Amino acid sequence: MSEVIRLPDVGGDGEVIEIMVAVGDRVEAEQSILVLESDKASMEVPCPRAGTIKALKFKLGDRLKEGDELLELDVDAGEDSTAAAADSEPAPAAASEPAEKPASAPEPAPTQVQTEKPAPTALPTSAPAESARVHAGPAVRRLARELGVDLGRVEPSGPHQRILKEDVQGFVRSALQSPGAGGGAGIEPIPSIDFSRFGETEIREMTRLQQLGAANLHRSWLNVPHVTQFDQADITELEAFRLAEKTAADQAGVKLTLLPFLISACARLLEEMPEFNVSLLGDGKRLVQKKYVHIGFAVDTPDGLLVPVIRDAGHKGLLQLAAEAAELAEKARNKKLGSDAMQGACFTITSLGHIGGSGFTPIVNAPEVAILGVSRASHQPVWDGAAFQPRLMLPLSLSYDHRAINGAAAARFTRRLGELLGDVRRMLL
């Protein structure tokens, strides 16, 4: 007897990140057929009946919701007829707890250092061949690649020796906390303190985005020899031009801020100074020269920092850049930004001008080799040769990887950036 199996109530919709069966496979009742990833968790979805799969109704990357067709199943003749009614009932357990962590399974200890596989003194930059043979879904493998983790060294805690995202994150925490890794050069890690001895405390979990960001920033800080070049740009005329074009921008349905000018100027400079548009290969001896110019910009969201990317930024006008940046920032804040929209940047801009401050040291977003930090512009007296004139000055902080860029090049970059921002007509030359 042929039967269509549908997705039960799993507490919301989700994306198919792994398909665990194929047409023609025979499955047992409660055997997992796919892995669904929601905004909160990953879960395996079981088949409620035993039988042979005649057709799959979904593919990798599909977003499924309750009631969507999963597969057509040729049900075994001996199956209890009453099971069909049970199939239509919701599965409340799946909504409250991911299927990857059944109640009978012991809770993993993510911060415990593995005794069989000791934490390395540094996270490997590439995963060796054995990582391909471990049991992990595409999302977990992607996370491992982003963090430079060899999945072959990660202890699984999921069913059937499956590696979960929590296992990868726990491995990173263990590696960073081990002597010689977290502090670098054998420096002891920061000791644990019972802060409740001094007053009332509360333990709050970091969001997944904050955890990933912390690991990425720590890795970049330990691996990249940072230097920061500080400068100022006179944007008096640029600000006058921006305000004068407010009506045109409103008619185009966009808000013309300083960001599009910065993106356009930096894209121009990456073409003029290609040594800033490179990445170092893992051997530390070769550079990848990029022939494209994609600019990332940091967006502050309630869950943490995201960096969407504007592609081919040098080929777009100010109004187009303003519209695209606003759209990407809105998606980032509403958790609708896909992973592809945050990949491929050649250079990153991070701005604190809307908050305040006169300068800061941004951390290079490796594998990029430079990042521009922008603080709040302020009116300052500037000597013009005859008298002091009030000018609107914008603080610039350019952090760079000293392995790829020398100090003279960084100083030329900020000076040239000041020239472009000081006279917007230069961007047209």
What's the pLDDT at 147? 81
Secondary structure (DSSP) of 99-121: TTS-TTSPPP-TTSPPSSSPPPS
Q: How far apart are CA 30 and CA 303, in angstroms?
A: 35
Q: Is residue 391 over pLDDT 50?
A: yes
Q: How much is the mean pLDDT over the chain?
A: 83
What separation in angstroms does the CA of 377 have from each of 231, 232, 241, 336?
12, 9, 16, 31
Provide the greatest CA pair distance for the chain. Answer: 99
Which letter does DSSP use for residue 151 in this model? G
Q: How far apart are CA 104 and CA 157, in angstroms?
A: 12
Q: How far apart are CA 213 and CA 304, in angstroms?
A: 8
Q: How far apart are CA 30 and CA 335, in angstroms?
A: 32
Mean pLDDT of 88-108: 40
The first and second tokens of residue 15, run together, are 């994306």
Choose among 202, 198, 150, 188: nearest CA to 171.
Answer: 150
- Grouping H, G, I as helix, E, B as strand and the rest as coil, residue 421 is helix
The first and second tokens of residue 397, run together, are 């902080």
Q: How far apart are CA 53 and CA 73, in angstroms?
A: 5
Q: What is the pLDDT of residues 358-368, one digit of tens each?
A: 899 999 999 99
What's the pLDDT at 143? 83
Query: Half-sphere exposure of 75 toward its Cβ, with a 13 Å CA cutoff?
Result: 18
Catalytic residues: 402
- What are the residues whose beta carbons fall under 8 Å from the beta carbon of 188, sequence distance 6 or more? 179
Confidence band (pLDDT; 50, 70, 90) for 295? Answer: very high
Confidence band (pLDDT; 50, 70, 90) for 41? Answer: low
Residue 394: phi, psi to the nearest 5?
-110, 120
Confidence band (pLDDT; 50, 70, 90) for 77? Answer: confident
Q: Is residue 182 over pLDDT 90?
A: no
What's the pLDDT at 113? 37
Choose among 53, 48, 49, 51: nearest CA to 72.
Answer: 53
What's the pLDDT at 277? 97
Q: Per mean pLDDT, which range of 4-18, 29-43, 105-119 is the poorest? A: 105-119
Q: What is the share, in percent, of the chain residues with pLDDT greater than 70?
A: 83
Q: How far apart are CA 88 and CA 119, in angstroms?
A: 46
Confidence band (pLDDT; 50, 70, 90) for 319? Answer: very high
Confidence band (pLDDT; 50, 70, 90) for 120? Answer: very low
SS3 per-residue string spanning 178-246? CCCCCCCCCCCCCCCCCHHHCCCCCCCCCCHHHHHHHHHHHHHHHHCCEEEEEEEEECHHHHHHHHHCH
Mean pLDDT of 157-168: 84
Residue-range domains of the chain with CATH: 2-96 (2.40.50.100), 102-188 (4.10.320.10), 226-428 (3.30.559.10)
What's the pLDDT at 186? 56
Q: What is the pLDDT of residues 188-246, one digit of tens each?
A: 677 888 889 899 999 988 887 888 888 888 889 988 999 999 999 999 999 999 999 99
What's the pLDDT at 348? 97
Q: How far apart are CA 24 and CA 53, in angstroms?
A: 5
Q: Is cis: bond before 367, omega within 30 of 0? A: yes
Residues in the chain: 429
What's the pLDDT at 261? 96
Q: What is the pLDDT of residues 369-389, one digit of tens each?
A: 999 999 999 999 999 999 999
Confidence band (pLDDT; 50, 70, 90) for 94? Answer: very low
| Dihedral sign of CA atoms 24, 26, 29, 35 in order | negative
pLDDT top residue among 126 and 150? 150
